[in-house]
Chain A
Amino acid sequence: MDRSPHADTAHPTLYLHRWRAWLPERAGEEMPAWVMTDEKPAANSVPALLRRRLTPLGRAVCTLLGDMGAHERAGTPVLHASRHGDGHRPLDMLDTLFEGEPLSPARFGLSVHNAVLGVYSIAFDNHASMAALAAAGEEFEALLSEARGYLCDGCDSVMLVLTDSPVPARYRIPDQAPQRPSAMLMELSRANAPDALCLEANPVDMPETSTPIVTPPRLTDWLMGRCELITRAPPLCWQVTSES
């Protein structure tokens, strides 16, 4: 695959306008105001009849998308990537089928990968382009690729949603599936703005297999200056080169 001739591919630069996170595993720690740690977000911005069907992860994503005003900027695509989706919900249905019991229609309807964005779209009457991705551990990289496609196509900004969720123990691969659910939202563009952070990437020489999976807690730690961020395919080291 040709990865070198296009400077933007080898050294991509993006601008981060805002970010929000939901990290219940960090409850009690000192975190920025825009990091939620509630076990079950109230999600008051979502009508009760829609909210009742959401897991805490779904409630968090809808709350944070609402906070970021994604619905107020027509034409801003919303892209959601998650390795395990809503975790227990689809896999628990396999147990129900095994036991010969009928499936809950509501839970079945919300077991698809784009269910959370679907509920968000209805709740906030947001008809922008939306997509749900899974990429076997390279979800953040997939989000960046998709986002840059939309930006190259002329979109002013793109809303990224990265989430993950625990799965039942028997499906869990040690060191890969998380113990707690989490979410990270970022609004990215190719245009600078007074409050934006400039994110620059440079190629780095390291085996892709030794690169940690980019998760919402890791992204948060990186933006708080606590760790480095390396994405795969190809390996790129990302730096925050300006601050508001």
Chain B
Amino acid sequence: MANTELTELERDVANMIIEALELEDITADDIEPDAPLFGDGLGLDSIDALELGLALQKRYGIRLDSDAEENREHFASLRQLSALVAERRSD
């Protein structure tokens, strides 16, 4: 069922997550935009965080400092990650 809450950018970022992390049986519409990506939400782990950092670099030209405190906020949800992409993309 289509998730009408997703913007075009959120859908694009959701597809990047699915592709980069090889998530099985999940479509962009299955990712709740405000649900946590890590832990209880989508259930991603620390290696996924590194993989997402790489995917952001490849797809949107965004380089994150691996020690930055704000990374936790950027990776909190699909919506937060999409906001980061909207603000800093250089592709």
Contact = CB atoms under 8 A, between A and B. Distances in A.
Interface of A: 48-49, 51-53, 102, 104-106, 109
Nearest to A102: B54
Interface in B46-87: 47-48, 50-51, 54, 57
Nearest to B50: A105
18 contacts: A48-B24, A48-B25, A49-B45, A52-B21, A52-B22, A52-B23, A53-B22, A102-B54, A102-B57, A104-B51, A105-B47, A105-B51, A106-B21, A106-B47, A106-B48, A106-B50, A106-B51, A109-B47
Contacts, number: 26
Contacts of A52: 21-24
Interface residues on B, range: 10 to 19
A218 to B, nearest CB: 33
A109 B49 CA distance: 13
Q: Is the interface of A mostly helix, strand, loop or mixed?
A: helix
Given A52-B24, A104-B51, A104-B54, 19 more contacts: A48-B25, A49-B44, A49-B45, A51-B24, A52-B21, A52-B22, A52-B23, A53-B22, A102-B54, A102-B57, A105-B47, A105-B51, A106-B21, A106-B22, A106-B47, A106-B48, A106-B50, A106-B51, A109-B47
Interface of B: 21-25, 43-45, 47-48, 50-51, 54, 57
Most buried by A among B22, B23, B45: B22
Contacts of A106: 21-22, 47-48, 50-51
Nearest to A50: B45
B54 A105 contact: yes
Contacts of B54: 102, 104-105
Nearest to B46: A105
B68 to A, nearest CB: 17
Contacts of B24: 48, 51-52
A37 B11 CA distance: 37
A56 to B, nearest CB: 13
A84 B44 CA distance: 29
A106 B47 CA distance: 6
A181 B51 CA distance: 27
Contacts of A48: 24-25
B3 to A, nearest CB: 20
Contacts of B44: 49
A49 B43 contact: yes
Contacts of B47: 105-106, 109
Nearest to B53: A105
A5 B7 CA distance: 77
A49 B44 CA distance: 8
Nearest to A51: B24
Contacts of B21: 52, 106
Nearest to A52: B22
